[in-house]
Structure 1
Amino acid sequence: MGFIRTTPPRPVEVTAVFPELAPLARPAIRLHPRPGSPSVRDSSVGGPLLWPAREPWPHCEGADLHVDTGFRRSPTEVRLQRRLQSRWRPDDLPPAFTPEEEALKERNAAWLAERLDASPPWPAECPVPMLPVAQLFLRDIPLLRPPGQADLLQILWCPYEHEPDYKPATALFWRSAAEVGDILATPPEPYEADFPGYVPEPCVLAPEAITEYPNSLDLSPELQRMLEDWNRWQAAGADVDSSYAEYPRDFYSIHLGNAPGWKVGGWPPWGRTDPNPRYCTVCEVQMVPLLTIASREWDGGEGHSWAPQEDQAAALADSSYAGQKPTQPTGVEVGSTDNMQIYVCPASPEHPHTDLIQ
């Protein structure tokens, strides 16, 4: 953890205005992923995993459920194109690959040709190697509640959307880092991805503990009406712009409720649907959010109030150059710039997890 990111204080202390919300506070850890070169011993997004050499790498067996978008690029090609885009400026000539990138491109082309010339079955009909999404060590993310002696969480996904929900299939592994002996040096990669947004960029993390309050949709009708009472905000002396007088609940939703971005714990980011509780398929306990996989670290416009203090200049500049989006350091995009929520059973984290796009 070599850098720091700090969420600015909220413009209003929400429990000073609405003490009724205090019992609903939840701890969360914003991960603040930023492009880097994590090792297998680091917590990361899209980085290499501390994976035992003798343990089979997870593959997606649901090829019959894959949605074919016609996208035909390998993860290596996706990352190379991002590197090129990161050096592009509107007034410049198109940048060229460096010699090292050219060599990588040639090796990738040779690898693809070998795969495509291989004997049947066609690669797309074979089990597809999954891609690393996140690796989180308990020492960095103490909010994790692993089973037994585990101190490491690893999450992978298939780089294809699956019918009928049109989302990548996910796999979750808890393990003890001390029990990993020989490490798998060269994990298999899929020969293509369904969409570049399912190829995470390697990112290091700057975990930050915060306190969250529910998305307004998670509140009771009574509490929702309370948020909509402009007189209540004024009586508490809250410094809220009068432009919110007609819809003060929007101020809460944008600035005070659940934080955007990659995070562990906290409250779900509803929006695509109304709140949709998830229940454990084994013990029927209501599941809790484990990890939010976000398409954006913060929203544009007023939503940049969630941008860390160290990133405020970049947020205000709102750079739109390809590959230069400070809100999307991971390159991940799920759904229509939505979030994927991973849920686990609070009684037994080893029970099957579930996921939901919001």
Structure 2
Amino acid sequence: MTYFVRKGLFYLVALWAAVTLNFFIPRLMPGTPVDSLMAKLAQRGGQVNPETRRAFELLLGADTDEPLLAQYWSYLGNTLRGEFGVSVSSYPTPVAEVISASLPWTVVLVGIATLLSFLLGVTLGMVVGWRRGTWLDSLIPATTVLAAVPYFWLALILSAVFAGTLGWFPLNGGYDVVLDPGWSLEFIGSAVYHGILPALTIVISSVGGWLLGMRNMMVSTGSEDYVLTAQAKGLRGSRVMLRYAARNAVLPSVAGFAISLGFVVSGSIITEQVFSYPGIGSKLLQAVQNNDYALMQGIFLIITVAVLGANLVVDLLYGLIDPRTRS
């Protein structure tokens, strides 16, 4: 029990540190959200004066006259209440609404793609590692090369070939714009159809890492005494591979998969930009370009909580699976 309490306290401190950095880092960037709005107002011929600037500061909750420490305490209180302010880049929409509208797109796309790449990579790595030295080892250089290809280049190539030349998939967007978002079969089918190509990009670029890691662990596990003993007993090769070797070799991959799930909510900025996908990654890039502190802080907080939560689950599961980690 002491182990679990210690882990819980550690992650609470880590969460506080992350939230604190989340407050200070955007304020180290040049410019402010008010400057961004004032520049847009000036471009449109609006009146720019100190009174207008003060009105924008009060409207956005970016009171620069307030001491930084007071702003920090206000930020902590608003965060606990789930109030992240108003987004400048999507003004006057609240940050919570911007995140809630874009986060499901990213979680579904990146989550499913991450799961598929993990299952495919681990399965192939298990077979390749068990039959090492055969022609199956040729899969490793091929998948490693694909993983080393620049992400944006791979997305552009797939988009040009399958969407532009062959016309098998739509070029961009998350769904057919003539449809109203909802739970209708027509809309869900359109969303799945638009998400196939971005998901394929993520799977191709990440499956090589899972395959290589699982293959190396299978090679190492295959020489363990309990595997050799099972083989000496005359057990079927498939049973030894699944029940003895793969069952232990997959543990590091499971830990890595759980942690990678925490990063699912951060989205894939490059993929979403190339395919104009309405996910959280494009919103984050938009927030950085517009000095949108409120939206940046809201997205970073969601990412931080997800990553810390995934790490906490992994630590607790390892504590239950392997009692030696609790000592």
Please give the TM-score of this superposition, normalised by the length of structure 1. 0.28
Higher helix residue share: 2
Higher strand residue share: 1
- Between structure 1 and structure 2, the one with the greater Rg is 2
